[in-house]
Structures are given as C-alpha cells and as structure tokens.
Amino acid sequence: MDKKIKIAIQGGEGSFHDIAARAYFPHLHETIQCVTFKDLCDVLQKGDADYAMIAFENTIAGTILSNYSLIQNYGFNIIGEVRLRIVMNFMALPGQTMNDIKVVRSHYMALMQCSDFLLQYPHIHLEEYYDTADAAKDIKEKSELGAAAIAGKRAADLYGLEVLHTSVETFKENYTKFFIITKDKTLKVKNANKATISFRLADDPGSLYALLGIIYKYQINITKIQSIPVLGRQDTYTFYLELDWEDFDAHNYVLEEIKDYCLDLKILGQYKKGETYQ
C-alpha cells in the first residue's frame, strides 16, 4: 500500500492553501491544518507532514517576505510552485440579505483585497480572523446569524453557507503563488527549470552589478529579486532571486561564477515552473 501523503497547510479545510494543495497533489490523503506559517514550519520540521504548502506572493499584497526567511532559516527545500487565482466570496447562513449582516470576518489580507466591495456596506463591521475558511466554519458551528465570512467557494460548500456575492475582490486578476516545500534536502526534481537562491553581497562597489552581469551573460531570466535586512547587522541585506532557464548547464555555470561575489550563497530549491489554477 502506498504511503499516505500528509500536507501541512496554513488555515483550515476550504482555505486557499487547501485548494492549492489539492490542485498540486490530486491524490492528497490528508492535510494538517496550521494557524500560522511558523506552526506550519514546525509541523514539517518535526516530520508530522511530508510536505507543506506555503504562500509567498500575492498580486495585490505583494511578496510575503517573512516566508522566504522561514524557508531559509528552517533549511527547507523548495520542490515546486503553484499559482492560484483567488476568487473571494461573501457568504453567510442561508436565508439572509445584506441588510441582515452586521459583521464580516476574514483574514486581514482578504479584507484588504475586497475593500472596494466592503465600502459599499458601511453598516457592516470588519473583523480580522486568522483564516478565511475557518471564519466560515465558525459561523456554521455557532449558527451565527448576522455574521458573514469572505472565503473561497469551497468553504461555502463545506460549511453549508450561502454565497450572497461572488467575486468580491477588487482586482479580478488576483493570484497567489505558493511554494511546495519539504525538509528532505536530497529530493531532486527532474527537468527543473526554475530556482530560488539567497545570498548576501560582499561589501565591494559594483558587486551586485557584476553578479547580474554574469546572470545576463548566460541568458538566465530573473523573475524576481528581493532584499530583506539582516537582523542585528546594519546596512546588511539578504537577497532572494528567482531564476528560470532553458539550459540547466547555464544555470550551473551561473551558480559557480557568482560565488566570487556572494556570501552565504544558498540554493533554496530547484523546481519546475508552476501551473496556474483557476
């Protein structure tokens, strides 16, 4: 019998992490639901899950820089990515109208992404909740009239809520990207065509310029570059780059040549470009 796959996710069943996990792992056996991203990393580190699904970028909210730091600090291996279109739905117990709703709960990011819609209903109080889907679940469990949640449609289906308005996000082209991570550093992805690396720069004039020139020389595409201050070290930054390529050998040449300009160069993962799911 095949080993059951366990995936750690942030949020409850029906959350966008749950939807992304089920898209990437069509034969998913079990999700381990975590309140915070730190909890998710602890579960993976202890071996209670085989993999974890962790968001790292949203079209509207931008990059979740702290999750890059978590992946690096725990020493996890990125083995894949998923891009999920985020459709927000306004849901409540059946039989209610918008006039009946006094409060809406959701993750702070979801509330932010639906700000234009919510401004149309000034009588509705906004409350932050740690997860979109669990906000819906809580309403169901408490049989709470006058309360609504903003979450994905899967949450409405799971918890028997009625969708009063669909697609309430301000920007319809709203996507979240997720990494699939594991603690197994030996796991290699066949035909990888993308990588995430991190490094600090030597304190030399033009070091970043020289490094980028090497990447350009080998025609490697930079899809993202981010910098995060190093705690306790003034004017020191960790850079995170996402690279993709046609020629894997060229990628290896780049990694070899940029070593002269980098401090603490790490390959956080080599994987395939992620598919987009609606």
Residue 2's pLDDT is: 57
Three-state secondary-structure class, residue 111: helix
Residue 180's pLDDT is: 98
Question: In which band, very low, low, confident or very high, does the pLDDT at 260 lie, cut at 50, 70 and 90?
Answer: confident
Residue 132's pLDDT is: 95
**Structural domains of the chain, with CATH:** 6-85+174-182 (3.40.190.10), 89-165 (3.40.190.10), 194-269 (3.30.70.260)
The answer to whether 202 touches 211, Cβ cutoff 8 Å, is no
Residue 236, φ and ψ in degrees, nearest 5: -120, 135
The answer to whether 271 touches 194, Cβ cutoff 8 Å, is yes
pLDDT, tens digit, for every residue of 159-212? 999 999 999 999 999 999 999 999 999 999 999 999 999 999 877 788 899 999
pLDDT, tens digit, for every residue of 83-112? 999 999 999 999 999 999 999 999 998 999
Tokens standing for 209? 């310029």
Query: How many Cβ atoms from other residues are within 10 Å of residue 217's Cβ?
Result: 12
The answer to whether 215 touches 222, Cβ cutoff 8 Å, is yes
Residue of 276, 254, 274 lying closest to 265 (CA atoms): 254
Cβ neighbors of 128 (< 8 A, separation 6 or more) are 105, 106, 107, 108, 111
What DSSP element (H or E) covers 248? helix 248-257
pLDDT, tens digit, for every residue of 56-77? 998 888 899 999 999 999 999 9
The answer to whether 67 touches 37, Cβ cutoff 8 Å, is yes
pTM of the model: 0.89
Is residue 235 scored above 80 in pLDDT? no
Q: For the range 245-250, what are the long-range contacts, defined as Cβ-Cβ under 8 Å and sequence gap of 24 or more?
A: 245/193, 245/194, 245/218, 245/219, 245/220, 245/221, 246/193, 246/219, 247/218, 247/219, 248/192, 248/193, 250/218, 250/219, 250/220
Percentage of the chain surpassing pLDDT 70? 99
Alpha helices in 25-92 (DSSP H): 37-46, 65-74
- pLDDT, average across residues 219-246: 90
Measure the CA–CA gap between 7 and 82, rounded to whole angstroms.
14
Measure the CA–CA gap between 53 and 257, rounded to whole angstroms.
32
Measure the CA–CA gap between 247 and 130, rounded to whole angstroms.
42
Query: How many Cβ atoms from other residues are within 10 Å of residue 92's Cβ?
Result: 25
Cα 50 to Cα 76, 142, 184, 277: the distances in Å are: 12, 33, 9, 22
